[in-house]
Amino acid sequence: MKLLSLVALLVLVGVAICDPYINGTWSSVQSWPFLTIHMVMLKNGKVLSYGTLNSGRPFLPDEEFYYDVWDPATNEHNTVTYYGGPKGNNLFCSGQVQLPSGQVLITGGSENMNDIPNYGIAHVQFFDPETDIIELADRNMYFPRWYPSVTTLGNGQVVVQGGRGGTEPKIGITTPEVYNPETGVWKMLTGANSTLYRQRQGWWYPKSYCARQNMVLLFPAQRNEIWKLDHRGDGSLTQVATVPGPAFMKEAPACMFDRNKVLAIQGMQDACVLDINNPDAPTYEKTGSLRERRIWATSVALPNGEVLVVGGASVSQELDAAVKFAEIWNPTTGQWRVGAEAAKARLYHSAAMLLPDATVLVGGGGRPGPVNNDDIEIYSPPYLFQANGDRATRPIITSLSTSEPDYGDTIQVTFQDATKIDRVSFIRAGSVTHSFNMDERMFSLEYTQNGNVLDVDLSFGRSVAPPGWYMLFIVNDEGVPSEAKFVGLPSP
């Protein structure tokens, strides 16, 4: 009893205890081909990443860009030189998302103009996971964009917002546009043109989520506001809510952890839950605050329903102020608990993303410094361990009746090494950069269990789970998740 009381006290005051069952563990630091700024979880379980050269500087006009495809199952890298786009274009600080086809749409980036760097570009590129090749699209966007957000809609199209570019490189782009993957055509949303994207750095990776098939909810930087973007016709943009507390910040993460519910960090430490099920009247609820201020942290939805936050610093870009320990938020209690401490500081330009084995890939940080990390670490959350520190026995998904069902279907999930399943989690394959996973969303699926078979109900709307690729996890009655199977939902 005294030992348990001491453990509880140490957790309460934020002392990191070296107990995997309580804090999880970190892998050793592993080298990476470059400083990774962008990560995408592909439908084949591999990870596409790109960023800057190992020195931390960007690619110059006389150099070719390169990117990497990593297989977590074998730890093998395929680092590829890209010759498809205009020479001197940099894809880092672009906006990327995986389409329902499995291709990755990469929008914008930057170029040098008259030897001046960081002018936005309108180029569009596609990565093909079957060939590991990036190719330049036939059509550009209407506007050059550096730091844009890309959000998948319920109809499988994608809306691009924000970014900066043009002849004045630091001026935000005020008109959103929509891409139709079926036709390859872009459409300007002239009715949604707004200085919102220009004021207070509103162009910087606007945090946006699909709320209804034709609606996107937007939390602009340095504001306490929620806006609704309607892409029908010429589009429209209207404010639908004002929330209390500190403002949403570009340096702070947000994460959809349940059906149209978003955990958002306000300021750099406070937290709230935003329910956007009704996009005309979203609601706000304060929840527990992070134990430390975190500037440039990243949040990750975990298959047990919790949310992990890693990286960042209490003072921007100060190495001595780096927050190296993980924090985990429990949606039932609204409280955070301390996780294990990483070896490396992960500051600006770091990224974190859930892997199919339910661990979390964390890497990058730098350009600008104070450090340039061309390496990664992998965090294993507490749910992977027993109380004695040994690895937990995990349920295993042995088969799915189909990996490409339709909305409204019921799929059969056969499993072993578990008696009772307490949760089936559906988590969209990640696409992360700059403290924001652009398509991240997680929710639990309804199911019935008959022995070692689950009948899993997919009768939810396209706004709950837009077309694309998801990781399906099962979680046993001890909170231990399986490895994921990939499930693809079709466009209309």
Assign 414 to helix, strand or coil.
Answer: strand
Assign 212 to helix, strand or coil.
Answer: strand
pLDDT digit string, tens, across residues 439-452: 899 999 999 999 99
d(CA 149, CA 95): 5
CA distances, 458 to each of 215, 413, 415 (Å):
21, 12, 18
CA distances, 486 to each of 378, 449, 472 (Å):
21, 20, 6
CA distances, 473 to each of 108, 123, 358, 442 (Å):
33, 36, 8, 11
- Give pLDDT, residue 212: 79
pLDDT digit string, tens, across residues 327-383: 999 999 999 999 999 999 999 999 999 999 999 999 999 988 899 999 999 999 999
Per-residue pLDDT averaged across 424-428, rounded? 98
pLDDT at residue 83 is higher than 80: no
pLDDT above 90 covers a percentage of the chain that reads 82
pLDDT at residue 140 is higher than 60: yes
- Give pLDDT, residue 471: 98
* Residue 31 pLDDT grade (very low, low, confident, very high; cuts 50, 70, 90): very high
- Give pLDDT, residue 13: 43
- Give pLDDT, residue 55: 53
Average confidence score pLDDT of the chain: 91
pTM (2 d.p.): 0.94
More confident residue, 167 or 311: 311
